[in-house]
Amino acid sequence: MSDYPEWLASLLSRITTPLGLSVNWNDFGALLTVLWAIVVFTLIAVVAQASVIFMVLMERKVLAWFTQRKGPNRVGPWGLLQTLADGVKLLFKEDIIASGADKFLFTIGPAVFFLPAFVFFGLVPFTDKLLAVALPAGALFVFAISSISVVGIVLAGWGSNNKYSLLGGMRSAAQAISYEIPLVMAVLAVVLFTGSMNIADIVKAQQGGILNWYGILLTPVSLLMFFTASLAEVNRVPFDLPEAESELVSGYNTEYSGMKFALFFLAEYAALFAMSAFNVAFFAGGYYSPFGHFILEMVTNRSADMMTGPLQLGLQIEMLFWFMMKTYFFIFLAMWVRATLPRLKPDQLMGFSWKFLIPLSLINIFMIAIEKYVLVPHDQTVLTLHENTVLTNLPILHTGSVIGNWLIWVVVAAVVFGGFFFLMSRLLSEKLEARLARR
């Protein structure tokens, strides 16, 4: 299997043949691979830029709606061009570097911070065909590449030669270490059940409607942990301590201006889109319809495997529609959280991860392991849609596993919350008795 699509060589032949050049482009495999990589990452850059522009406008409108304001409404119809105007403003701002700053680290910091968010788009399965890079260990690679962004923030804080920027960078490193663990553990539960780290395989295992989505019935706790930890990973409220404008004079990006500052801004929103997309892929059925069948299948009375030509194009559009709808639902939830919750204190932020999310993730993996080997039959399989992947045994949910999963979690919740309220009642009663004794 080549590293470039077969139609690329035929397309180049059609372009060069009328020019009098008879070239067999299949003999230039290395050149076509490089050309295809350039095309893919150019498209990724365009999609990332477009999504960020829309998301910035969306957040300003959503926050205005929650706080009973109008939001952007002057530049363009309904304020739709406000984000473009802000981008042009940043583009023409002067790039200032402090005299005591390390110019090399100060310059590469925003680029290193932006790199993971840019690569993420190549790993997202928007449809069964629209996937730039299909990796057998895609889930592992996502978390490996996400750690690079922390390096960019630390470089930016150190290179700025500003104590507030350095403090913001150090906060970011501590926060990332704390919340990467529950983030990985949440996806590990899905990988354990699916038996594959290929993101396309994980999406494929969730076909069959909303009741087969991992985040609905099988791993709702993993869904909540992943969503919470992803907010911390992309520095969103209430986990925005790396910036903390009211405390740290904007943290690691204090000394930045112009397009360097815009890169930080761009990377945060791109990472939010990517994490929401991975949330959909891991827990919300990916590009599959919540009804069990695609609307086009129900209208034409044909299965997806039998569709060709215009019908296949329509199916891809419907898959992309479902994926984007789910992704922007999670983005809206992140904006809702920002409009609702206050920022956590540093000790609260660290304690929430180490004392609550990580122990809960260990219990969650234990429950999924029980369900994988006891409740789920192993004789049911599904096939992948990708030609370059090996057919794997992916278990399909059934009624017994769903009921067993929820019964187990009811018992766990009863023990956890019952023990919590019991201990708190004992603690409060002891404090009350001590206060009465002092009187």
pLDDT one-digit tens code per residue, 342-362:
888 878 888 888 888 888 888
In tens, the pLDDT along 107-129 reads 898 888 888 888 888 888 888 88
382 has a pLDDT exceeding 50: no
Tokens at residue 333, please?
């939830």
Q: Is the pLDDT of residue 248 over 70?
A: no
pLDDT at 331 over 80: yes
Cα four-point dihedral sign 282, 284, 290, 295: negative
Q: What are phi and psi of 45, to 5 degrees?
A: -65, -40
Closest by CA position to 110, among listed 176, 155, 158, 171: 155
267 vs 326, more confident? 326
Asked whether the beta carbons of 275 and 230 are under 8 A apart, the reply is yes
Q: Concatenated DSSP letters for 18-38?
A: GGT----GGG-HHHHHHHHHH
Dihedral sign of CA atoms 333, 334, 335, 340 in order: positive
DSSP state of 100: T
The per-residue DSSP string of 157-171 comes to HHHTT-HHHHHHHHH
Check residue 251 and report its DSSP letter.
G
- Average model confidence (pLDDT) for the chain? 79
- Whether residue 13 is predicted with pLDDT greater than 70 in this model: the reply is yes
pLDDT of residue 385: 39
pLDDT-above-70 percentage for the chain: 82
Neighbours of 153 (CB within 10 A): 30
Shortest CA distance to 360 belongs to which of 422, 415, 297, 430? 415
pLDDT at 77 > cutoff 90: no
Beta strands in 257-307 (DSSP E): none
pLDDT band at 330 (very low <50, low <70, confident <90, very high): very high
> Nearest 10 degrees: CA dihedral of 167, 48, 206, 303?
180
What length is written for the chain?
439
pLDDT in tens, 297-322: 888 887 777 777 788 888 888 998 99
What was the pLDDT predicted at 384?
A: 39
Cβ-based neighbour number of residue 136 at 10 Å: 16
Q: Are 124 and 281 in contact (CB under 8 A)?
A: yes
The upper half-sphere exposure of residue 63, i.e. CA atoms within 13 Å in the direction of its Cβ, equals 15
pLDDT tier at 390 (50, 70, 90 boundaries)? very low
Q: How many angstroms separate the CA atoms of 106 and 110, rounded?
A: 8
**Residue of higher predicted confidence among 409 and 64:** 64
Distance between CA atoms of residues 372 and 395, nearest Å: 9
3-state secondary structure of 179: helix
Q: Give the separation between CA 266 and CA 149, rounded to whole angstroms.
A: 13
* Gyration radius from the chain CA atoms: 25
pLDDT at 19 > cutoff 80: no
Which residues are within 8 A (CB) of 285 and not within 5 positions of it... i.e. 6 or more apart? 203, 206, 207, 210, 212, 213, 322, 326
**Whether pLDDT at 93 is above 90:** no
Asked if pLDDT for residue 18 goes beyond 50, the answer is yes
Q: Are 152 and 109 within 8 A, CB to CB? A: yes
Tell me what the mean pLDDT of segment 93-102 comes to: 84
Top pLDDT among 374 and 342 is at: 342
Tens of pLDDT along 32-53?
777 777 777 777 777 777 888 8
CA torsion through residues 8, 385, 227, 155, sign: negative
Sign of CA dihedral 78, 80, 85, 90: positive
CB 187 within 8 A of CB 222: yes
User: What's the confidence (pLDDT) of residue 283?
Assistant: 92
Q: Of the given ranges (48-57, 167-176, 241-250, 252-261), which has the lowest mean pLDDT?
A: 241-250
The residue written with tokens 């539960």 in the block is 189
pLDDT at 100 over 90: no
| Interatomic CA distance for residues 112 and 114, integer angstroms | 5
Query: Is residue 288 predicted with pLDDT exceeding 70?
Result: yes
- The answer on pLDDT for 75 being more than 60 is yes
- Write out the two tokens for 274: 């990517």
Residue 171 has pLDDT above 60, yes or no: yes
